[in-house]
Amino acid sequence: MKTAIVTGITGQVGSYLAEHLINDNYKVYGIIRRASSFNTQRINHLYKNPNLELIYGDLVDSSGLTTTIGDIKPDHFYNLAAMSHVRVSFDTPEYTGDVDGLGVIRCLEAIRKTSPKTKFYQASSSELFGSSLPPQNEQTPFHPRSPYAVAKLYGYWATVNYREAYRLFCSNGIVFNTESPRRGETFVTRKITRALGRIVYDLQDKLFLGNIDAKRDWSHAKDSSRAMKMMLEHDKPGDFCIATGKSYSVMEFLEEAFGLCDLKYQDYVEFNPKYLRPSEVDHLMGNASKAKEQFGWEPEYSFKELVKEMVDADLEIAKKEYIIKLDKI
Protein backbone atom coordinates (compact mmCIF):
# COMPACT_ATOMS: atom_id res chain seq x y z
CA MET A 1 0.00 0.00 0.00
CA LYS A 2 1.33 3.44 -0.96
CA THR A 3 1.40 6.17 1.69
CA ALA A 4 0.77 9.91 1.54
CA ILE A 5 1.04 12.77 4.00
CA VAL A 6 -1.36 15.67 3.46
CA THR A 7 -0.99 18.99 5.27
CA GLY A 8 -4.14 21.09 5.18
CA ILE A 9 -6.27 17.94 5.07
CA THR A 10 -9.12 19.68 6.91
CA GLY A 11 -9.43 22.29 4.15
CA GLN A 12 -11.72 21.92 1.14
CA VAL A 13 -9.01 20.78 -1.29
CA GLY A 14 -7.32 18.58 1.30
CA SER A 15 -10.57 16.76 2.03
CA TYR A 16 -11.20 15.98 -1.63
CA LEU A 17 -7.57 14.93 -2.12
CA ALA A 18 -7.86 12.56 0.83
CA GLU A 19 -10.91 11.00 -0.80
CA HIS A 20 -9.08 10.52 -4.11
CA LEU A 21 -6.09 8.93 -2.40
CA ILE A 22 -8.09 6.62 -0.14
CA ASN A 23 -10.26 5.51 -3.04
CA ASP A 24 -7.04 4.56 -4.83
CA ASN A 25 -5.89 2.48 -1.85
CA TYR A 26 -3.39 4.93 -0.34
CA LYS A 27 -2.78 5.08 3.39
CA VAL A 28 -3.29 8.78 4.16
CA TYR A 29 -1.72 10.59 7.09
CA GLY A 30 -3.30 13.98 7.63
CA ILE A 31 -1.35 16.61 9.56
CA ILE A 32 -3.61 18.87 11.63
CA ARG A 33 -2.82 21.65 14.08
CA ARG A 34 -3.63 21.06 17.73
CA ALA A 35 -6.43 23.36 18.89
CA SER A 36 -8.94 23.61 21.71
CA SER A 37 -11.76 22.66 19.33
CA PHE A 38 -11.99 20.32 16.37
CA ASN A 39 -12.09 21.66 12.80
CA THR A 40 -12.53 18.38 10.99
CA GLN A 41 -16.03 18.74 9.56
CA ARG A 42 -14.88 18.26 5.98
CA ILE A 43 -13.29 14.86 6.71
CA ASN A 44 -15.66 13.51 9.39
CA HIS A 45 -17.13 11.10 6.83
CA LEU A 46 -13.68 9.51 6.48
CA TYR A 47 -13.07 8.95 10.19
CA LYS A 48 -13.99 5.28 10.24
CA ASN A 49 -11.83 4.50 7.21
CA PRO A 50 -8.78 2.50 8.35
CA ASN A 51 -6.68 4.14 5.63
CA LEU A 52 -6.89 7.57 7.29
CA GLU A 53 -4.80 8.59 10.28
CA LEU A 54 -4.56 12.12 11.71
CA ILE A 55 -1.34 13.42 13.26
CA TYR A 56 -0.78 16.67 15.13
CA GLY A 57 1.75 18.94 13.46
CA ASP A 58 2.41 22.46 12.22
CA LEU A 59 4.36 24.06 9.38
CA VAL A 60 6.16 26.29 11.89
CA ASP A 61 7.53 23.23 13.76
CA SER A 62 10.49 21.86 11.82
CA SER A 63 11.42 19.22 14.39
CA GLY A 64 7.90 17.80 14.41
CA LEU A 65 7.78 17.70 10.62
CA THR A 66 11.16 15.99 10.45
CA THR A 67 10.09 13.34 12.95
CA THR A 68 6.78 12.67 11.20
CA ILE A 69 8.29 12.43 7.71
CA GLY A 70 11.23 10.36 8.93
CA ASP A 71 8.96 7.89 10.71
CA ILE A 72 6.48 7.44 7.85
CA LYS A 73 8.74 7.95 4.82
CA PRO A 74 5.70 8.54 2.61
CA ASP A 75 5.56 7.94 -1.12
CA HIS A 76 3.83 11.32 -1.52
CA PHE A 77 3.82 14.52 0.52
CA TYR A 78 1.18 17.13 -0.35
CA ASN A 79 1.70 20.55 1.22
CA LEU A 80 -1.71 22.24 1.12
CA ALA A 81 -1.60 23.96 4.50
CA ALA A 82 -1.37 27.75 4.40
CA MET A 83 -2.66 31.04 5.68
CA SER A 84 -4.82 31.09 2.59
CA HIS A 85 -6.93 34.25 2.73
CA VAL A 86 -5.42 36.90 0.46
CA ARG A 87 -7.14 39.88 2.09
CA VAL A 88 -6.21 38.74 5.60
CA SER A 89 -2.56 38.36 4.56
CA PHE A 90 -2.31 42.17 4.43
CA ASP A 91 -3.17 42.21 8.14
CA THR A 92 -0.84 39.33 9.09
CA PRO A 93 2.08 39.58 6.65
CA GLU A 94 4.77 38.20 8.96
CA TYR A 95 2.71 35.16 10.00
CA THR A 96 1.74 34.57 6.37
CA GLY A 97 5.40 34.59 5.33
CA ASP A 98 6.36 32.19 8.11
CA VAL A 99 3.70 29.61 7.23
CA ASP A 100 3.34 29.97 3.47
CA GLY A 101 7.00 30.66 2.72
CA LEU A 102 9.32 29.22 5.36
CA GLY A 103 6.86 26.40 6.02
CA VAL A 104 7.70 25.01 2.58
CA ILE A 105 11.43 25.04 3.37
CA ARG A 106 10.75 23.14 6.60
CA CYS A 107 8.89 20.43 4.67
CA LEU A 108 11.56 20.19 1.97
CA GLU A 109 14.41 20.04 4.46
CA ALA A 110 12.68 17.27 6.39
CA ILE A 111 12.23 15.28 3.17
CA ARG A 112 15.81 15.91 2.06
CA LYS A 113 17.23 14.74 5.38
CA THR A 114 14.96 11.79 6.19
CA SER A 115 13.06 10.60 3.12
CA PRO A 116 14.62 11.78 -0.19
CA LYS A 117 12.56 9.36 -2.28
CA THR A 118 9.32 11.03 -1.21
CA LYS A 119 7.56 12.92 -4.01
CA PHE A 120 6.65 16.46 -2.92
CA TYR A 121 3.72 18.59 -4.08
CA GLN A 122 3.59 22.30 -3.30
CA ALA A 123 0.24 24.09 -3.52
CA SER A 124 1.22 27.21 -5.44
CA SER A 125 -1.35 29.77 -6.51
CA SER A 126 -2.46 31.80 -9.49
CA GLU A 127 -2.01 34.83 -7.19
CA LEU A 128 1.68 34.55 -8.14
CA PHE A 129 0.79 36.14 -11.47
CA GLY A 130 -0.89 39.17 -9.91
CA SER A 131 -1.05 41.90 -12.51
CA SER A 132 0.47 39.88 -15.38
CA LEU A 133 -1.91 39.81 -18.31
CA PRO A 134 -4.01 36.68 -18.99
CA PRO A 135 -4.03 34.02 -20.16
CA GLN A 136 -1.29 32.94 -17.74
CA ASN A 137 0.79 29.80 -18.13
CA GLU A 138 4.06 28.41 -16.73
CA GLN A 139 6.12 30.96 -18.69
CA THR A 140 4.13 34.03 -17.62
CA PRO A 141 6.17 36.45 -15.45
CA PHE A 142 5.18 36.52 -11.79
CA HIS A 143 4.02 39.78 -10.23
CA PRO A 144 2.64 39.04 -6.73
CA ARG A 145 0.28 41.67 -5.32
CA SER A 146 -0.20 40.59 -1.70
CA PRO A 147 1.80 39.22 1.24
CA TYR A 148 0.08 35.90 0.54
CA ALA A 149 1.31 35.86 -3.06
CA VAL A 150 4.83 36.97 -2.05
CA ALA A 151 5.04 34.13 0.49
CA LYS A 152 3.71 31.64 -2.04
CA LEU A 153 6.34 32.83 -4.52
CA TYR A 154 9.04 32.01 -1.97
CA GLY A 155 7.55 28.54 -1.58
CA TYR A 156 7.35 28.10 -5.35
CA TRP A 157 11.04 28.91 -5.92
CA ALA A 158 12.10 26.84 -2.91
CA THR A 159 10.35 23.86 -4.51
CA VAL A 160 12.11 24.48 -7.83
CA ASN A 161 15.45 24.92 -6.07
CA TYR A 162 15.23 21.65 -4.12
CA ARG A 163 14.34 19.85 -7.35
CA GLU A 164 17.36 21.27 -9.13
CA ALA A 165 19.88 21.31 -6.26
CA TYR A 166 19.08 17.97 -4.62
CA ARG A 167 17.34 16.08 -7.44
CA LEU A 168 14.23 15.61 -5.32
CA PHE A 169 10.89 14.91 -6.98
CA CYS A 170 9.27 18.30 -6.30
CA SER A 171 6.33 19.70 -8.26
CA ASN A 172 4.43 22.98 -8.08
CA GLY A 173 0.74 23.06 -8.87
CA ILE A 174 -0.08 26.65 -9.85
CA VAL A 175 -3.76 26.23 -9.11
CA PHE A 176 -6.28 28.88 -10.10
CA ASN A 177 -9.30 29.68 -7.91
CA THR A 178 -10.65 26.48 -6.40
CA GLU A 179 -14.25 26.31 -5.19
CA SER A 180 -16.84 23.82 -3.92
CA PRO A 181 -19.59 23.48 -1.31
CA ARG A 182 -16.74 22.88 1.16
CA ARG A 183 -15.17 26.28 0.48
CA GLY A 184 -14.64 28.42 3.59
CA GLU A 185 -17.45 30.89 4.22
CA THR A 186 -15.16 33.95 4.22
CA PHE A 187 -14.12 33.37 0.58
CA VAL A 188 -16.18 35.29 -1.95
CA THR A 189 -17.87 32.44 -3.84
CA ARG A 190 -19.02 30.65 -0.69
CA LYS A 191 -19.89 33.96 0.91
CA ILE A 192 -22.23 34.56 -2.02
CA THR A 193 -23.93 31.14 -2.05
CA ARG A 194 -24.18 31.05 1.75
CA ALA A 195 -25.84 34.47 1.81
CA LEU A 196 -28.12 33.54 -1.08
CA GLY A 197 -29.50 30.53 0.79
CA ARG A 198 -30.18 32.66 3.86
CA ILE A 199 -31.82 35.37 1.73
CA VAL A 200 -34.16 32.82 0.13
CA TYR A 201 -35.29 31.67 3.60
CA ASP A 202 -35.57 35.24 4.99
CA LEU A 203 -32.67 34.73 7.37
CA GLN A 204 -30.57 37.53 5.88
CA ASP A 205 -31.34 40.80 4.08
CA LYS A 206 -28.12 42.01 2.52
CA LEU A 207 -24.75 40.79 1.26
CA PHE A 208 -21.76 43.15 1.44
CA LEU A 209 -18.90 42.71 -1.05
CA GLY A 210 -15.86 44.58 -2.34
CA ASN A 211 -14.62 44.49 -5.93
CA ILE A 212 -17.17 42.54 -7.99
CA ASP A 213 -15.44 43.35 -11.30
CA ALA A 214 -12.48 41.08 -10.55
CA LYS A 215 -12.29 38.13 -12.95
CA ARG A 216 -11.16 34.66 -11.94
CA ASP A 217 -10.72 31.19 -13.42
CA TRP A 218 -13.01 29.13 -11.14
CA SER A 219 -12.28 25.37 -10.82
CA HIS A 220 -14.05 22.72 -8.75
CA ALA A 221 -11.92 21.44 -5.87
CA LYS A 222 -12.59 17.88 -7.05
CA ASP A 223 -10.88 18.69 -10.34
CA SER A 224 -7.90 20.51 -8.85
CA SER A 225 -7.27 17.87 -6.16
CA ARG A 226 -7.41 15.17 -8.81
CA ALA A 227 -4.72 17.08 -10.73
CA MET A 228 -2.47 17.11 -7.66
CA LYS A 229 -2.57 13.34 -7.35
CA MET A 230 -1.91 12.92 -11.08
CA MET A 231 1.04 15.31 -10.82
CA LEU A 232 2.86 13.15 -8.28
CA GLU A 233 1.96 9.93 -10.10
CA HIS A 234 3.51 11.38 -13.25
CA ASP A 235 6.95 10.02 -14.16
CA LYS A 236 8.80 13.34 -13.80
CA PRO A 237 8.41 16.46 -11.66
CA GLY A 238 7.62 19.94 -12.92
CA ASP A 239 5.53 23.06 -12.52
CA PHE A 240 1.99 23.01 -13.86
CA CYS A 241 -0.89 25.46 -14.17
CA ILE A 242 -4.23 23.93 -13.20
CA ALA A 243 -7.12 25.93 -14.65
CA THR A 244 -10.22 25.75 -16.84
CA GLY A 245 -9.07 28.34 -19.37
CA LYS A 246 -12.22 30.40 -18.82
CA SER A 247 -12.75 33.38 -16.53
CA TYR A 248 -15.82 34.99 -15.01
CA SER A 249 -16.17 38.08 -12.87
CA VAL A 250 -17.55 38.07 -9.34
CA MET A 251 -20.51 39.93 -10.85
CA GLU A 252 -21.12 37.05 -13.27
CA PHE A 253 -20.92 34.59 -10.37
CA LEU A 254 -23.56 36.66 -8.59
CA GLU A 255 -25.80 36.72 -11.66
CA GLU A 256 -25.54 32.96 -12.14
CA ALA A 257 -26.11 32.12 -8.47
CA PHE A 258 -29.00 34.50 -7.82
CA GLY A 259 -30.53 33.63 -11.19
CA LEU A 260 -30.85 30.00 -10.08
CA CYS A 261 -33.28 31.28 -7.42
CA ASP A 262 -35.04 33.72 -9.77
CA LEU A 263 -33.58 36.69 -7.91
CA LYS A 264 -31.60 39.75 -9.00
CA TYR A 265 -28.40 40.21 -7.06
CA GLN A 266 -28.70 44.01 -7.40
CA ASP A 267 -31.61 43.92 -4.92
CA TYR A 268 -29.47 42.40 -2.17
CA VAL A 269 -25.76 43.16 -2.75
CA GLU A 270 -24.12 46.33 -1.45
CA PHE A 271 -20.56 47.59 -1.74
CA ASN A 272 -18.34 47.84 1.34
CA PRO A 273 -14.82 49.26 0.89
CA LYS A 274 -13.42 47.25 3.82
CA TYR A 275 -13.40 44.19 1.55
CA LEU A 276 -11.07 45.85 -0.98
CA ARG A 277 -7.39 44.84 -1.02
CA PRO A 278 -4.67 47.52 -0.81
CA SER A 279 -3.52 46.23 -4.22
CA GLU A 280 -6.04 44.42 -6.40
CA VAL A 281 -5.62 41.56 -8.87
CA ASP A 282 -7.97 42.27 -11.75
CA HIS A 283 -7.91 39.22 -14.01
CA LEU A 284 -6.62 35.67 -13.66
CA MET A 285 -7.21 33.03 -16.34
CA GLY A 286 -4.98 30.02 -16.79
CA ASN A 287 -3.77 27.82 -19.60
CA ALA A 288 -3.44 24.18 -18.46
CA SER A 289 -2.12 22.80 -21.78
CA LYS A 290 1.08 21.50 -20.17
CA ALA A 291 -0.83 19.41 -17.61
CA LYS A 292 -3.10 18.06 -20.33
CA GLU A 293 -0.19 17.12 -22.59
CA GLN A 294 2.05 15.59 -19.92
CA PHE A 295 -0.39 13.65 -17.75
CA GLY A 296 -3.81 14.01 -19.32
CA TRP A 297 -5.57 16.26 -16.81
CA GLU A 298 -8.67 18.17 -17.87
CA PRO A 299 -11.41 19.80 -15.77
CA GLU A 300 -14.68 17.90 -15.57
CA TYR A 301 -16.87 20.61 -14.01
CA SER A 302 -18.18 23.63 -15.90
CA PHE A 303 -18.70 27.04 -14.30
CA LYS A 304 -22.47 26.59 -14.29
CA GLU A 305 -22.23 23.13 -12.72
CA LEU A 306 -19.93 24.45 -10.02
CA VAL A 307 -22.21 27.36 -9.12
CA LYS A 308 -25.33 25.17 -9.09
CA GLU A 309 -23.71 22.59 -6.79
CA MET A 310 -22.67 25.32 -4.36
CA VAL A 311 -26.09 27.01 -4.43
CA ASP A 312 -27.97 23.73 -3.92
CA ALA A 313 -25.76 22.80 -0.96
CA ASP A 314 -26.20 26.16 0.75
CA LEU A 315 -29.94 26.19 0.15
CA GLU A 316 -30.09 22.91 2.09
CA ILE A 317 -28.08 24.42 4.94
CA ALA A 318 -30.29 27.51 5.04
CA LYS A 319 -33.42 25.34 5.00
CA LYS A 320 -32.21 23.50 8.11
CA GLU A 321 -31.46 26.81 9.80
CA TYR A 322 -34.96 28.03 8.93
CA ILE A 323 -36.58 24.92 10.41
CA ILE A 324 -34.57 25.36 13.62
CA LYS A 325 -35.68 28.99 13.79
CA LEU A 326 -39.33 27.97 13.42
CA ASP A 327 -38.98 25.38 16.17
CA LYS A 328 -37.75 28.09 18.54
CA ILE A 329 -40.69 30.39 17.87
Q: For residue 263, count other CB atoms closer than 10 A to its CB.
A: 15
State residue 161 phi and psi, 5-degree precision.
-65, -45
Sign of the alpha-carbon torsion through 181, 185, 191, 193: positive
Which sequence positions are flagged as catalytic?
125, 127, 148
Using CA atoms, how far residue 105 sits from 102, 125, 321, in Å, is 5, 17, 43
Amino acid sitting at position 324: I
CATH 3.40.50.720 domain residues, the chain: 3-179+219-242
Within 13 A of 214's CA, how many CA atoms are on the CB side? 21
d(CA 13, CA 104): 18
pLDDT computed for residue 38 by the predictor: 79
What's phi and psi for 242, nearest 5 deg? -120, 110
Superfamily of domain 188-216+247-283+301-328: UDP-galactose 4-epimerase, domain 1 (3.90.25.10)
- Within the chain, all domains assigned CATH 3.90.25.10 are found at 188-216+247-283+301-328
Domain 3-179+219-242, CATH:
3.40.50.720
What are the pLDDT tens digits along the chain (329 aa)?
999 999 999 999 999 999 999 999 999 999 999 887 778 999 999 989 999 999 999 999 999 999 999 999 999 999 999 999 999 999 999 999 999 999 999 999 999 999 999 999 999 999 999 999 999 999 999 999 999 999 999 999 999 999 999 999 999 999 999 999 999 999 999 999 999 999 999 999 999 999 999 999 999 999 999 999 999 999 999 999 999 999 999 999 999 999 999 999 999 999 999 999 999 999 999 999 999 999 999 999 999 999 999 999 999 999 999 999 898 87
